[in-house]
Amino acid sequence: MKNSRQIGFATRAIHVGQEPDPLTGAVTVPIYPTSTYVQQGIGEHKGYEYSRVSNPTRTRLEENLAALEGGLAARVFASGMAAINAVTTLLKSGDHVICGNDLYGGVPRLFDQVWADFGLEFSYVDTSEAGHVERSMRKNTRMVYVETPTNPLMRLSDIRALAAICRRRKTELIVDNTFMSPYFQQPLALGADMVVHSTTKFLNGHSDGLGGVVVCSKPEQAEQLAFLQKAAGAILSPFECWLVLRGVKTLAARMEQHDRSGRIVARFLAEHKKVKKVLYPGLPDHPQYELAKQQMSGFGAMITFETGSLNNAKKMLKKVHVCSLGDSLVGVEARRDARQSELPMAWCVSQWASRMSRTLSMI
Ligand SMILES: Cc1ncc(COP(=O)(O)O)c(C=O)c1O
């Protein structure tokens, strides 16, 4: 679709990359479950050679997600962790990475237990204070990696401030935008160099597929990551690409409802006498409430709260009726329960075992 930046977000989500199929007129993108493509002669083809390299369903999803994040190109991978791993492979032995000190646990596991053995160095700092990042810069720092808000403590980093530091120090800023989705936060417009997502979460939104994406702001990043899809092969299957294309069509509507429900649930929890603390950027007592209003256009549905003890957390979980306890978040099954008018959203509680004694994240 031409001039996609000039049309609204919801329209882009439904139409960019999702044009009717020219062959049949089908209004949904076809799933191309093919490993290979016939060639007219050696090396003569219609742009597709082998599905590890490229696949038409994947191309459409990559066009769509690039348009939603305002990026130059997107590359999709088999999971969020595969996408983060792909970004890490752009580094070289001896490079240093500054990371947030509150990240989804799989990320430090990948960095410390896999990549550190290949000569990469990682420092974990509180990136919510831009000065900490500046002071942690070394000559060999090549990347700053943050989640904002973080999983699970819902801390924010000032993307614009970090981007300015990174530009000065010739370092790339990577933002995991999973918790906000491009609907509420646009890190590339704020100066980030690349955005990653676990598409497993809001972008797919239906708890029926894993996936990850890297959205690039520069042609060389897109080229390197396309090469990596071909070389390492951790690509998203055509069927799962189609599931995400299906999911993003309702992203705008879902995010609006998530946000409405998130605010109500956060206020309910904040007033509850058994809840010790609520971490939600939409509550005025969140330490970065002002920053949240500046760099996000909504507060979303991720809420962390403290029950005071592991025992209390376990007791509470036993009493929750509609939501399911499980590892993941933000599927559509976190839906309104008509019987609980004071809690318009059922909760899908995600458990981070190591922190469960203090905090529970839920939507
Ligand atoms: C913020 C964040 N980033 C990345 C990931 C990893 O994504 P995936 O589970 O799709 O590999 C997760 C998983 O929960 C996450 O919460």
Bridge partners (DSSP) of residue 251 are none
Do residues 169 and 317 both lie within one domain?
A: no
User: What is the predicted pLDDT for the residue at 5?
Assistant: 63
The active-site residue, picked from 32, 58, 75, 104, is 104
Do residues 117 and 233 both lie within one domain?
A: yes
229 Cβ neighbours under 8 A, 6+ residues apart = 52, 53, 54, 75, 77, 86, 235
Do residues 39 and 64 both lie within one domain?
A: yes
Q: What is the DSSP letter of 236?
A: P
Q: Considering only CA atoms, which of 361, 176, 359, 177 is closest in space to residue 262?
A: 361
Domain boundary (248, 282, 297) is at 248
CA of 83 to the centre of ligand 1 (A): 10
Ligand 1 binding pocket includes 80 (Cβ within 6 Å): yes
User: What is the predicted pLDDT for the residue at 333?
Assistant: 64
Q: Considering only CA atoms, which of 254, 267, 280, 278 is closest in space to residue 156?
A: 280
Do residues 92 and 59 both lie within one domain?
A: yes
State the Cα–Cα distance between residues 187 and 189, nearest whole angstrom: 5
- The yes-or-no answer on residue 277 being catalytic is no
Do residues 70 and 205 both lie within one domain?
A: yes
109 Cβ neighbours under 8 A, 6+ residues apart = none
User: What is the predicted pLDDT for the residue at 223?
Assistant: 98
User: What is the predicted pLDDT for the residue at 217?
Assistant: 98
User: What is the predicted pLDDT for the residue at 308?
Assistant: 87
Q: In the chain, where do the E strands start and end?
A: 73-77, 96-100, 121-125, 141-147, 172-176, 194-198, 212-216, 277-279, 303-306, 349-350, 359-362
CA of 338 to the centre of ligand 1 (A): 30
Do residues 276 and 155 both lie within one domain?
A: no
Do residues 21 and 120 both lie within one domain?
A: yes
- Which of 76, 79, 81, 203 has the most ligand 1 atoms within 8 A of CB, as the residue to mutate? 81
| Domain containing residue 295 | 252-362
Q: Considering only CA atoms, which of 153, 189, 157, 161 is closest in space to residue 176?
A: 157
For the stretch 196-215, pLDDT in tens is: 999 999 999 999 999 999 99
What CATH number is associated with residue 210? 3.40.640.10
Do residues 269 and 236 both lie within one domain?
A: no
Domain count within the chain: 2
Residues of the chain with pLDDT under 50: 335-363
Do residues 244 and 258 both lie within one domain?
A: no
